[in-house]
A and B are shown apart, each in its own frame.
Chain A
């Protein structure tokens, strides 16, 4: 119950943020909420299953293009919902085939499909619309965009927790541990994986749809930027995708970091991201939140005793 109250208090504070009337704080909070939502939705599926999905950029970009195409004709909430649904539909169609692949093949094909969608949209726009990018008119005010992203991010956190506790969440974790065993115990792996994949896609698509109006001009290279998925994976991996706190803390840290470093030292920032990615894979396989800090503390305080031969080498 304590966590529930914390969640509510945070939601109220964040919702009241536009009252500060500080565009800088609000814009940073917006970036932070966007990455929090993306990282939480990514962790929803990829955390428990261990399937490394790199399709987030594709979901995000599809959502953004739904806004670009539909904003002039449809009311704002419908546009955002439709963006999410487009991503879900895409996830469903590709999920039927790609969820049979495992390991690096799954990661590579989700990345490849994302790039395929990006280049297809570029080509279609060039051939039929005559331009590559799109300018957006009658965009909603920045407060409305902020609240929309906030609602989606909060919804993502709520869904992450509820989904994780449901029987589908348990089934998804079972699949991550041992897919064959889960299947023997009566889980239909394809159905459960597909559900998780589509659910996670909806949030990424809706966030893309909501964020698209921030740029006023979008083209495939901005909204299908692979950087979006890399940053999302990095946030989740460094934070720890198996806990809800991990992606949230990661999103906060990396949004601040990118806000201050990305504009002044863009190349150094990317190099730093690369180093952090490697270090977190090597030394924090479960992320900051999932790391055994108590064990580390005990090891440090017991330093005077002879070190144990802990490092077993199982796979070389």
Chain B
């Protein structure tokens, strides 16, 4: 096999994996902390992408300026959704299983709403606004600059989240809630304030991934769905609530998909994703890294 081709594929796989990591970290927080099986997670990615795209269209400025305010907007939307829906859902669910199933149905509802609102506002066709799409040469290997940017931002965001969780008091509180929800409450961690914040953070991360994607790919109202599936695969691979596991799982899935579609055909991409999901759920439902 040609070495340059190999490097090309690895870079492409890491870019995809980096996006998956950012999307999956948000879902992992929501599912791990609150048992919210947010099947509409990819829809927030889509909203982030369209918001960035619209702002870039109207101002002509670099999309990087709009990503932070868009993330704040999605964070606030997350707080609102938690207040309106998930707080009551948690209060009325008899156990964790019921919470998961009910939040899944709510997620489908949110998915209908988000996709069709996007259809009404932006229309069903594809729209795109490529940014920084010139090629960068490293010797014989050429990579599009925007892909490198996506990889760098995704890596920075994932690393930032890991450091936040490892090093700060807030992060320790969140890890405490992940490991022992009841114990965390007993030692005085205010779950009533941290739960909405973590839900909002999940949406903001999905929005970040969407904003990054809007620089590279075309947008459609249903673009989020494959990312939801990938995020589900990643958190299953990495293990529930396991943050480093999710990052490793995301990169692994990105590489498997890139190499898999290169050697078969691009139309099989979704087939490969679903096969990985089904196999992982059947063979390692506790995650690849479970002891």
Contact = CB atoms under 8 A, between A and B. Distances in A.
Nearest to B118: A267
B37 interface: yes
Interface residues of B, number: 50
Contacts of B97: 50, 102-103
B96 A103 contact: yes
Interface residues of A, number: 42
Contact of A101 (B88, B116, B267, B285): B285
Contacts of B88: 282
Contact of B109 (A52, A119, A126, A278): A278
Given A50-B101, A274-B109, A119 B95 contact: no
Given A52-B104, A104-B104, A108-B37, A314 B91 contact: yes
A274 B117 CA distance: 11
Contacts of B192: 316
Main secondary structure of the interface of A (DSSP, over half): helix
Interface string B112-133: 1101110110000000000000
Contacts of A101: 281, 285
Interface string A101-139: 111110111001101100110010010000000000000
Question: Which of B108, B191, B278: most chain A CB closer than 10 A?
Answer: B108
A275 B267 CA distance: 34
A300 to B, nearest CB: 20
A278 B191 contact: no
Contact of B89 (A103, A113, A282): A282
A116 B120 CA distance: 30
Given A102-B97, A103-B100, A277-B108, A316 B91 contact: yes
A277 B101 contact: no
A109 B101 contact: no
B188 interface: no
B92 interface: yes
Interface in A208-238: 230, 233, 237
Interface string A129-156: 0000000000000000000000000000
Interface of B: 37, 39, 85, 87-106, 108-113, 115-117, 119-120, 191-192, 195, 229, 232, 267-268, 270-271, 274-275, 277-278, 281-282, 285
18 contacts: A50-B98, A52-B104, A52-B105, A101-B285, A104-B100, A104-B101, A104-B103, A108-B37, A119-B271, A233-B108, A268-B120, A274-B108, A274-B111, A277-B106, A277-B112, A278-B109, A282-B85, A313-B91
